[in-house]
Structure 1
Amino acid sequence: MRPTLPPGPPVTFKARLHDARTATAIGRWLGLAVAVCFATGVLSHVLQHPPGWLADRLPSRPYWGYRLTHGLHVASGTAAIPLLLAKLWAVYPRLFTWPPVRSARHALERMSVAVLVAAAVFQLLTGLLNTFQWYPWPFGFVPVHYAVGWLLAGALLLHLAVQWPKIRDHFTRRSTGTLALPVADGPDRRRLLFGVTAAVGAVTLTTVGQSVTALGPVDLFAPRSPEHGLQGLPVNRTAAAARVTWASLADWRLTVAGPRPYTLTLDELRALPQHEVILPIACVEGWSKSARWSGIRVRDLLERAGGGHGSRARVVSLEAEGAYRVMDMGRLYAQDPLTLLALRLNGAVLSLDHGYPARIIAPNRPGVLQTKWVARLEVV
């Protein structure tokens, strides 16, 4: 026999914990993740597209620097996704208050929140799709993602300034009792925060292995595993995509332009003093892995062409087209002894997809600037 329910109003969904204390507790961690993601993202953009006045000042050491900072960028952005969802869940009743606008000040406040939410969702969604190299939009990812990053940072600072009195009141753990919030909600809030923490930990742990070699075995959901690829290294841009073929390399020569220009065949390059380095490839999509490279120091090639110790380099690829077909290398990179025109990878001749017959490998450098299929090297 079914129990008889007491008469009353129809049951409706009305979850608890949509309060300022919960929103602030989640917001602390979301703010930290966004701050790390923004700072490392700006650094990554500057390394990829350095302004002229900064090009010769960008450091080439530590050689693992870009691998660390961009790994943090992707990891913090990934961790921010469940944090943002939890934050929106905590505050969503206030997003649909009625009337929607009560005064001019209230209208400005709601507009700033709308910009903040839209920018955050856009940044995290497009950043996530970028790690999969999927671009279902008509605009260029890099400039738009960079611009909206600054918009997000500004909207976040404005939001913090407007909401600071509430944030201050709810920032500490003791605020639950001092602000007369329901004491019964305490255990549920702890469970909620524990669940959010577990979600962030799971998402991070199962994706960060694409850049942290030690966590490779638990790299379950990352878009790319550095363990899989030709010659022990993944390939983002193939020779077919760059329209480089064996036929186009039949008469390949390296041209080195400068006060004393010269050209070299592949056999002549191999006859020059060879150097071996262990350097990581750190891709802008988030994966990275160290490899053993051997070839000729770029500074030696520049010096032979008449370049001094302060000379920069311009590298031109055989690629038919592409945003990074021509790459400028600042003085500290060009003169670093670790910067090579590499001919071999992990003890074997470069495969065509890895840039045969010659490619650039340099320390503390985004992967898109490690130019493949090098045809021309210029003293600048």
Structure 2
Amino acid sequence: MTSSRPSGEPAPERPTTSSRAPGPSPSRSVLPALRPPVFTGRLHDARTATAVGRWLGAAFAVCFATGLVSHYLQHPPAWLADDLPARPVWGYRGSQGLHIATGLAAIVLLLVKLWAVYPRLFVWPPVRSVRHALERLSVAVLVAAAVFELLTGLLNIVEWYPWPFSFIQVHFAVAWVVTGSILLHVAVKAPEIAAHWGRRSAGTLALPAEDAVDRRSLLLGMGAAVGVVTLTTVGQTVTPLKAFDLLAPRHPDHGPQGLPVNRTAAAAGVSAGALAAWRLQVAGPRPYTLTLDGLRAMEHTRARLPIACVEGWAVQADWGGVRVRDLVERAGGVPGRAAVRVTSLEVSGAYRVMEMGAEYVDDPLTLLALTLDGQPLSLDHGFPARIIAPNRPGVLQTKWVHRLEVL
């Protein structure tokens, strides 16, 4: 019997009676193919990154410059100590207030910048060449250092130090790492930055026209966020705006005698009982000792000076006391040439002993202050005597002074 199937046509498969459940072919993988994620957001582009990056770069530049001022005022090298300027009176208040304000603004800017570029973390393949690997490594260093710098700076403002290292030295060192990383990043990306810098650059014209509205909205929102953060914190430095000081850890009117304090007498280990027999020792070619009544009997000077702290807050106040240069001259110090070492009664602390260069010592506004706004100093403000000097960080305005040494 002949088959009716056309010649060359394969025979149909016969049904199987096997009870085995169907499954994947042994030759095929059961795992889905791994693919990098796909981002469809149109603002994750070079133009957005460039627009945000130039503001972020400016903020870091200001932070770096003002940070150098703060660091070298607090820890001057020996060759610079006697030449640090005591004027303008408001110098440190302005520079450190700007440092904190731009640092807080940079937090907002950095978050937006990272949002704009984070899809590039998932490019595939992750490394295309040695040059590409080095470029990605430099970006990783930049991001890590920038995040570290802003986070530690923020925690320093609220005086919380949950780490085992010294904030000042590490923060200062990482600032150089951030600055170097930014300069390297700009050098590597210079052609791309130039292509997307202006509104009518070649890189911009290549992007969809409808993106302009969205990008403008993003940048306006970023600017508004920076404005809100600045307005609600800068009042701790710019006192006319103190009514808006909602997010800053200090308010310029809150504290003993209407001024904030960072370190109280209790924290410093200074008690009223320990001051019962207080004397001021002045060491020099002609050493002498003064009681509080003896200090009060000397010629007094009044000065309206700000006290400005590294955390960013600053308050102007009326101080009264004896000029330091008068005390130094009485001990045999040469006017304009003598520096002073100041020792506090506090039990311990990084600034228990402070040195003041000749420029500060000779300034007529540098006082061993006994009064604040016409009233004797409170214990938390350094009773019986403290240093107050123009253009000087608050940590160097030593409280509970009991010894001056002419150098």
The answer, yes or no, to whether TM exceeds 0.5 is yes
Deviation (angstroms), 1:13: 6.6
Q: Is the 8 A contact 1:307 1:379 kept in 2?
A: yes
> Per-residue displacement from partner, 1:12-63 (whole Å, max 9, x unpaired)?
8732210000000001111111100110001100000000000011100001
Is structure 2 residue 361 aligned with structure 1 residue 323?
Answer: no
Partner Cα separation in structure 1 for residue 253 and residue 272 of structure 2: 27
Amino acid at match of 1:116: L
Amino acid at match of 1:151: V
Q: Which residue of 1 aligns with 2:373?
A: 346
- State which of 40, 62, 77 in structure 2 corresponds to 1:51: 77
Q: Which residue of 1 aligns with 2:384?
A: 357
Is structure 2 residue 260 aligned with structure 1 residue 234?
Answer: yes
Q: Which residue of 2 aligns with 1:15?
A: 41
Is structure 2 residue 194 aligned with structure 1 residue 168?
Answer: yes
Partner Cα separation in structure 1 for residue 196 and residue 57 of structure 2: 15
Specify the structure having the higher radius of gyration (Cα). 2
Q: What is the RMSD computed on CA atoms of the aligned residues?
A: 1.2
Alignment of 1:42-191 (within 5 A): 42-175=68-201, 179-191=205-217
Q: TM-score if structure 1 supplies the norm length?
A: 0.96
Q: Which residue of 2 aligns with 1:266?
A: 292
Deviation (angstroms), 1:179: 3.9
Partner Cα separation in structure 2 for residue 184 and residue 13 of structure 1: 18
The SS at the match of 1:77 is: helix
Is structure 2 residue 59 aligned with structure 1 residue 33?
Answer: yes
Change in 2 beyond 3 A, CA 1:109/1:230: same
Partner Cα separation in structure 1 for residue 298 and residue 202 of structure 2: 71
Is structure 2 residue 248 aligned with structure 1 residue 206?
Answer: no
Partner Cα separation in structure 2 for residue 178 and residue 372 of structure 1: 58
Q: Is the 8 A contact 1:177 1:183 kept in 2?
A: no
Deviation (angstroms), 1:177: 6.9
The SS at the match of 2:188 is: helix
- State which of 359, 363, 381 in structure 2 corresponds to 1:332: 359
> Per-residue displacement from partner, 1:97-135 (whole Å, max 9, x unpaired)?
222211111111011000000011001111111111111
The SS at the match of 2:69 is: helix
Partner Cα separation in structure 1 for residue 61 and residue 54 of structure 2: 11
- State which of 324, 340, 357 in structure 2 corresponds to 1:313: 340
- 5+ residue gaps, structure 1, are 1-11
Aligned-pair identity (%): 71
> Per-residue displacement from partner, 1:298-337 (whole Å, max 9, x unpaired)?
0000000000011111100001110000000001001100
Partner Cα separation in structure 1 for residue 351 and residue 122 of structure 2: 46
Change in 2 beyond 3 A, CA 1:177/1:316: closer
The SS at the match of 2:81 is: coil
Partner Cα separation in structure 2 for residue 94 and residue 179 of structure 1: 22
Q: Which residue of 1 aligns with 2:27?
A: none
Q: Which residue of 1 aligns with 2:15?
A: none
Deviation (angstroms), 1:178: 5.1
Partner Cα separation in structure 2 for residue 178 and residue 288 of structure 1: 44
- 5+ residue gaps, structure 2, are 1-37
Tell me how many residue pairs correspond in the alignment. 370
